[in-house]
């Protein structure tokens, strides 16, 4: 029931703040924030209480809640939580709270409806992270869409209607293709076993012919690739990220894109193990192309938010590489990347929002030498710029390093190319710092430094990113059962046509899994020493 | 022959027929709009409730009618739609027309046509009910005497419907010539004995398809729809969009499922082409519409196309999907036209999308309802439209009619454009030229309540439809 409460608290919080916003706007904001924080406390309390259970060989699922919803169609209301969804839920609530704090004064028009949309959006995202019935998953997947569309189309910047429409069309259409794949899977499973159900646990063992599997997986992948913003499905992304209000950009870039990565880990790889192996070279190539192309485009932008949007696209490429390498290390890296990128992109969009609120422009050509006027803002920005370019000691480095280490085992050439992305990211990330905070002063702006509220929000983010950079062990430990089952899942697959890299995977047995985990831990022990020495 | 015991089986139809006569007589005694409206409401309610007194099972009433679960379900659906439309008509007519009482006779008569059509089991009863439905519609469409557009569209409908009726009649005659039967079970028997479809029979079926396609406004027989929707008064448009189309669709299901006409590859192909064309063209043509009633007209063409996907699946699941979707479609369309009526005033209807600009900031509740309706028509989760579309996709995927399924997905993607456009306009900035200060019709009590109820239904079917699904699963397998 806890899981249901988590979602309900957000939904009711949204409704209540909508109702009372007309009378008392600060109370409405307070209630919305309180709802998110209450959930965050519940989740963290739960995390601490089960933390000891994340040991080797432990149960993957911590909570499993299932009631019939539409039994006639085999649809159930099935929520469950394992380490991965626990991490993602906590991330969603943490960043959700931050997004409310940083856009505290940004929204003045129709505040109540904004809060309602923001909270329902977070509720939808958490629903995606928790649902284990495929129709319920799709349901939440689409429920995220409508509030995001409203946030984008009502409170966005100058080109909001266009961006909103584009966002909605891309995600909705690709989502429908996923829905067809879900339904087809349902019938194939039903015909095989006589049990017509959308339940994840039942569907997970469905045997599919190679061709069908590939088609169905493509249905899922299209939806996820669009949401993740991978080349060539990215064209909505810069528009939507740029045109959203700050809070919307954060929710979109930091959380919604993670639902796609989560979907790949939770659904694509376990449901279609063989097909995803066949698809892996394509997926990794797409990932690498996104890394490099995104970095190149980011470098070419003058609009600050657009630049951040492309940098986000570049980082999402790493997630693709990590997932489709099918290595324990790269899975861990992917999960850390989801968290670290979420935090750093939140911070960068906050900086963009803060600057925009003060000077009403996002054009970097009009900025310059801000450090003198706003040193606090400059220092904080620097930390996250460094995080983005992958400085050791901050979260993104751990993630990208793990991903590349894992990927190296499965495809050397592409990994080398992906690693070039680290250099490219250094270039564009430093440009942000250079153009805004150093260089020439191009215009006289009256700037005020960060307010205590903004410093508080950024402070939380800094603590989080440094924590993940220096001591990622809690995250790794929590995700370990999920990673183990993902690994086992890929190992159990038998192949008709074995290819080089995947061949090694099949040979690996359970024992080596354990070694792998130990390897991960020792690796981090050594990393911690290095980090500590810095 | 009809024995007296069979009468209780067609109780709803009798109630409505009787009500039409009583209203007619009462007008002769004294004109009173309030009474007439109330009486019509009561008779629709009575018709819906009387279904409960019909015993379970499938009964033939002479060879003309068959009363089964499917027929009963549609009877209730049509009676409820009639009820809602009557309720919505009251203030609308008060504002826009002086002599209102005859309107209700026509409404009752056309509903009677629809009610008998859904239990028809014979070409004669089908044709008769179709004519009862159509002839009263001619008058209803042109009912507002002050509106030239209404009269024009009435005549347009008259001419086109007459042509389509003659096609239908010729088709029926050809089928009769080939099989020697007019009742559906007889035709089915005649077909199964002869084994193969002859050319004459196919020609007959084709002409019947033309007639039925016209009534359902499927592409390429759809040209009348936008004009009639735009020209007729909003309550009548709602009636044409829901009751008239729904009843014909119910008969279509009965006709082709019970005779097995769809088993012929050619017939199936023709229907597939019609379905694909309706989905694509309906949604495509709606894209550029500025007039909300024309937009709804094109969108309804698209929706009927979606329904054809379930029809073409020829399975129990397809039947259930079609029935469920039709309920969702009825609710959505009634609420959409209800909003148009709500926003209209003495001078005219709120026809243009721009009339709804900034509605959310003026009337948040109404805008929320209209947004939900639009999202439901577009098939977004939390609303009934999503589950309807899910059901349709399930039905299509089960039998692997991939072309239709893909077209459904693509065209609902196109559909999003214009539904979202309406939504976006409502949330856009305030309307600068507040032209008319006339009070809107919906201000008066029952109208808002009905809209709220329809809105709640859309949410209820969208979130927890188990009870409705259970009823549908019971009735939808009986027909074959």
Predicted confidence at residue A134, as pLDDT, reads 94
Cβ contacts (< 8 Å) between A143 and chain B: which residues?
Answer: 381-382
- Determine the residue among A120, A146, A182 to mutate to test chain B binding: the one whose Cβ has the most chain B Cβ atoms within 10 Å: A146
A315: closest CA of chain B, how far (Å): 29
Q: What is the dihedral of CA A371, A374, A379, A382, to 10 degrees?
A: -60
pLDDT at A520: 52
Contact A429, A301 (CB under 8 A): no
Mutate to test the interface with A, among B379, B394, B407 (most CBs of A within 10 A): B394
Q: How confident is the model at residue B419, as a pLDDT?
A: 92
Lowest pLDDT segment from A54-58, A370-374, B351-355: A54-58
**What pLDDT, on the 0 to 100 scale, is given for residue B437?**
56
pLDDT mean over A197-208: 89
> Domain residues of chain A, as ranges?
279-491, 492-530
Whether residue A505 is predicted with pLDDT greater than 70 in this model: the reply is no
Contact check, Cβ <8 Å, B424/A165: yes
Beta bridge partners of A81: A63
Residues from chain B that touch A150, judged by Cβ atoms under 8 A, are: 427
**pLDDT < 70: residue spans in chain B:** 1-5, 194-195, 430-439, 441-444, 477-480
Q: Which of A224-238, A306-320, B432-446 has the lowest mean pLDDT?
A: B432-446
pLDDT score at B334: 95
Please tell me which of A48-57, A371-380, A449-458, B237-246 the model is most confident about, judged by mean pLDDT: B237-246
Q: Would you place residue A493 in the very low, low, confident or very high pLDDT band (cuts 50, 70, 90)?
A: low
Please write the tens of the pLDDT for every residue from A72-121: 888 999 999 999 999 999 999 999 999 999 988 888 888 888 999 999 99
Choose the closest CB to A142 out of B381, B412, B428: B381
What's the mean pLDDT when you consider all of chain B? 89
Give the rounded distance of the alpha carbon of A441 from its chain centre: 36
Q: Which whole number is the average pLDDT over A430-450?
A: 86
Interface test with A, best of B420, B461, B465 (most A CBs within 10 A): B420
Task: Please tell me the distance from the alpha carbon of residue B73 to that of residue B92, in angstroms, as a whole number.
Answer: 29
Interface test with A, best of B367, B406, B413 (most A CBs within 10 A): B413
Mean pLDDT of chain A: 87
Of B233, B219, B331, give the one whose Cα is nearest residue B278: B219
Tell me the chain B residues in contact with residue A139 when contact means C-beta distances shorter than 8 Å.
Answer: 381-382, 386
Chain A residue numbers touching B412 (CB-CB < 8 A): 176
Strands A75-82 and A61-70 come out as: antiparallel
Indicate the residue of B387, B413, B427 with minimum beta-carbon distance to A172: B413
User: Taking CB atoms and an 8 Å cutoff, what residues of chain B touch A183?
Assistant: 390, 393-394, 397
Do A138 and B391 make contact, defined as CB atoms within 8 angstroms? no
**Residue A194's pLDDT is what?**
87
Residue among A143, A161, A177 minimizing CB distance to B424: A161
Quick one: pLDDT at residue A88? Answer: 95
Tokens of A125: 């995202």
Give the pLDDT confidence score for residue B195 in this predicted structure. 66
Enclosing H/E stretch for A397: helix A395-410
- Scanning A87-116 for CB atoms below 8 A from B yields 110
pLDDT of residue A116: 93
CA distance A163 to A156: 9
Nearest by CB to B398, which of A165, A168, A187? A187
Percent of chain A with pLDDT over 70: 91
How high is the pLDDT of residue A109?
A: 80
Where is mean pLDDT largest: A492-501, A502-511, B443-452? Answer: B443-452
pLDDT at A525 exceeding the cut of 80: no
Q: Which residues of chain A make contact with B405, given a CB cutoff of 8 A? A: 180
- Please report the pLDDT score of residue B241 as a whole number: 94
**Cβ contact B405–A180 (<8 Å):** yes
Closest chain B residue by Cα to residue A185: B397
**Rounded to a whole number, what is the distance in Å from the CA of A173 to chain B's nearest CA?**
6
pLDDT at A528 over 70: no
Residues of chain A with Cβ-Cβ distance to B427 below 8 Å are: 150, 153-154
Residue B442: what pLDDT?
64
Query: B394 and A142: CB-CB below 8 Å?
Result: no
Inter-chain residue contact B393 with A180, CB threshold 8 Å: yes
Cα A14 to chain centroid distance, Å, stands at 23
Residue ranges of chain B whose CB lies within 8 Å of a chain A CB: 361, 375, 380-382, 386-387, 390-391, 393-394, 397-398, 405-406, 409-410, 412-413, 416-417, 420, 424, 427-428, 464-466, 469-470, 473
From A142's Cα to the closest Cα of chain B, the distance in A is 6
Kindly report the pTM of this predicted structure.
Answer: 0.88
Q: What is the mean pLDDT of residues A368-386?
A: 90
């Amino acid at each position: 029931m806890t899981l249901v409460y988590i979602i309900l608290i957000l939904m009711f919080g949204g409704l209540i703040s909508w109702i009372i916003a007309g009378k008392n706007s600060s109370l409405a904001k307070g209630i919305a924030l309180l709802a998110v924080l209450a959930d965050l406390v519940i989740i963290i309390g739960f995390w601490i209480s089960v933390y000891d259970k994340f040991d080797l060989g432990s149960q993957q699922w911590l909570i499993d809640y299932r009631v019939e919803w539409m039994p006639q169609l085999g649809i159930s209301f099935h929520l469950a939580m394992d380490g991965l969804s626990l991490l993602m839920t906590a991330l969603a609530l943490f960043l959700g709270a931050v997004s409310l704090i940083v856009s505290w004064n940004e929204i003045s028009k129709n505040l109540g409806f904004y809060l309602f949309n923001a909270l329902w959006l977070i509720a939808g995202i958490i629903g995606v992270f928790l649902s284990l019935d495929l129709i319920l998953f799709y349901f939440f997947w689409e429920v995220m869409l409508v509030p995001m569309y409203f946030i984008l189309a009502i409170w966005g910047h100058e080109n909001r209607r266009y961006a909103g429409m584009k966002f909605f069309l891309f995600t909705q259409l690709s989502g429908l293709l996923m829905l067809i794949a879900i339904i087809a899977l349902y019938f194939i499973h039903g015909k095989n076993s006589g049990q017509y159900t959308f339940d994840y646990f039942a569907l997970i063992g469905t045997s599919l012919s190679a061709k069908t599997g590939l088609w169905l997986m493509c249905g899922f992948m299209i939806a996820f690739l669009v949401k993740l913003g991978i080349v060539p499905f990215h064209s909505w992304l810069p528009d939507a990220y740029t045109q959203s209000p700050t809070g919307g950009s954060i929710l979109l870039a930091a959380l919604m894109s993670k639902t796609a990565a989560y979907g790949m880990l939770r659904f694509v790889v376990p449901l279609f193990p063989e097909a995803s192996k066949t698809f892996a070279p394509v997926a990794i190539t797409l990932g690498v192309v996104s890394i490099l192309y995104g970095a190149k485009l980011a470098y070419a932008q003058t609009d600050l938010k657009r630049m951040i949007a492309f940098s986000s696209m570049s980082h999402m490429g790493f997630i693709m590489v990590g997932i489709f390498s099918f290595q324990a290390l790269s899975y861990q890296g992917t999960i850390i990347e989801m968290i670290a990128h979420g935090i750093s992109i939140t911070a960068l969009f906050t900086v963009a929002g803060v600057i925009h609120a003060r000077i009403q422009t996002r054009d970097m050509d009009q900025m310059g030498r801000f450090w003198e006027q706003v040193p606090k803002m400059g220092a904080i920005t620097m930390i996250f710029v460094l995080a983005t370019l992958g400085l050791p000691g901050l979260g993104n480095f751990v993630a990208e390093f793990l991903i590349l280490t894992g990927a190296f085992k499965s495809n050397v050439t592409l990994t080398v190319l992906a690693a070039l992305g680290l250099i490219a990211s250094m270039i564009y990330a430093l440009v942000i710092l250079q153009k805004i905070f150093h260089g020439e002063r191009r215009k006289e702006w009256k700037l005020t430094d960060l307010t205590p509220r903004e410093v508080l929000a950024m402070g939380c983010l800094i603590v989080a990113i440094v924590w993940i950079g220096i001591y990622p062990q809690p995250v790794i430990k929590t995700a370990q059962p999920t990673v183990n089952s993902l690994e086992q899942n890929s190992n159990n697959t038998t192949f008709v046509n074995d290819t080089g890299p995947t061949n090694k995977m099949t040979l690996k047995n359970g024992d080596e899994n354990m070694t792998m985990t130990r390897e991960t831990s020792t690796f981090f022990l050594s990393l911690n020493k290095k980090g500590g020495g810095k | 022959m009809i024995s007296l015991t069979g009468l209780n089986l067609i109780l709803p139809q009798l109630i409505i027929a009787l009500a039409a006569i009583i209203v007619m007589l009462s007008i002769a005694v004294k004109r009173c709009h309030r009474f007439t409206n109330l009486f019509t409401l009561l008779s629709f309610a009575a018709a819906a409730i009387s279904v409960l007194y019909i015993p379970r099972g499938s009964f033939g009433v002479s060879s003309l009618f068959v009363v089964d679960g499917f027929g009963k379900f549609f009877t209730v659906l049509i009676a409820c739609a009639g009820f809602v439309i009557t309720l919505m008509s009251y203030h609308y007519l008060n504002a826009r027309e002086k002599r209102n009482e005859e309107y209700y006779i026509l409404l009752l008569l056309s509903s009677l046509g629809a009610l008998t059509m859904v239990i028809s089991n014979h070409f004669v009863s089908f044709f008769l009910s179709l004519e009862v439905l159509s002839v009263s519609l001619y008058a209803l469409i042109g009912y507002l005497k002050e509106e030239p557009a209404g009269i024009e569209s009435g005549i347009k409908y008259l001419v086109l419907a007459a042509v389509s009726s003659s096609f239908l009649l010729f088709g029926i005659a050809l089928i009769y010539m080939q099989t020697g039967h007019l009742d559906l079970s007889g035709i089915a028997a005649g077909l199964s004995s002869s084994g193969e479809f002859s050319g004459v029979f196919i020609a007959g079926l084709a002409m019947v398809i033309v007639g039925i396609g016209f009534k359902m406004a499927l592409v390429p027989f759809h040209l009348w729809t936008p004009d009639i929707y735009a020209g007729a008064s909003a309550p009548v448009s709602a009636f044409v969009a829901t009751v008239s189309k729904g009843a014909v669709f119910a008969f279509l299901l009965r006709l082709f499922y019970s005779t097995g006409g769809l088993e012929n590859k050619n017939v199936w192909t023709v229907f597939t082409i019609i379905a694909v064309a309706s989905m694509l063209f309906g949604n495509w043509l709606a894209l550029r519409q500025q007039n909300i009633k024309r937009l709804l007209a094109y969108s309804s063409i698209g929706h009927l196309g979606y329904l054809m996907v379930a029809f073409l699946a020829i399975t129990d699941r397809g039947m259930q999907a079609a029935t469920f979707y039709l309920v969702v479609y009825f609710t959505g369309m009634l609420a959409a036209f209800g909003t148009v009526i709500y926003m209209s005033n003495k001078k005219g209807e709120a026809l243009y999308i721009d009339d709804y600009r900034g509605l959310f900031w003026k009337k948040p509740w109404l805008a929320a309802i209209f947004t939900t309706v639009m999202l439901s028509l577009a098939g977004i989760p939390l609303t009934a439209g999503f589950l309807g579309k899910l059901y349709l996709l399930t039905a299509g995927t089960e039998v692997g009619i991939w072309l239709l399924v893909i077209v459904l997905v693509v065209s609902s993607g196109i559909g999003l454009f214009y539904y979202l456009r309406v939504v976006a306009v409502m949330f856009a900035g305030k309307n600068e030229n507040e032209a008319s200060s006339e009070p809107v019709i919906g201000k008066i009590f029952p109208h808002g309540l009905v809209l709220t109820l329809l809105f709640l239904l859309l949410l209820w079917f969208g979130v927890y439809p188990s009870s409705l699904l259970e009823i549908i699963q019971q009735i939808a397998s009986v027909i074959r």
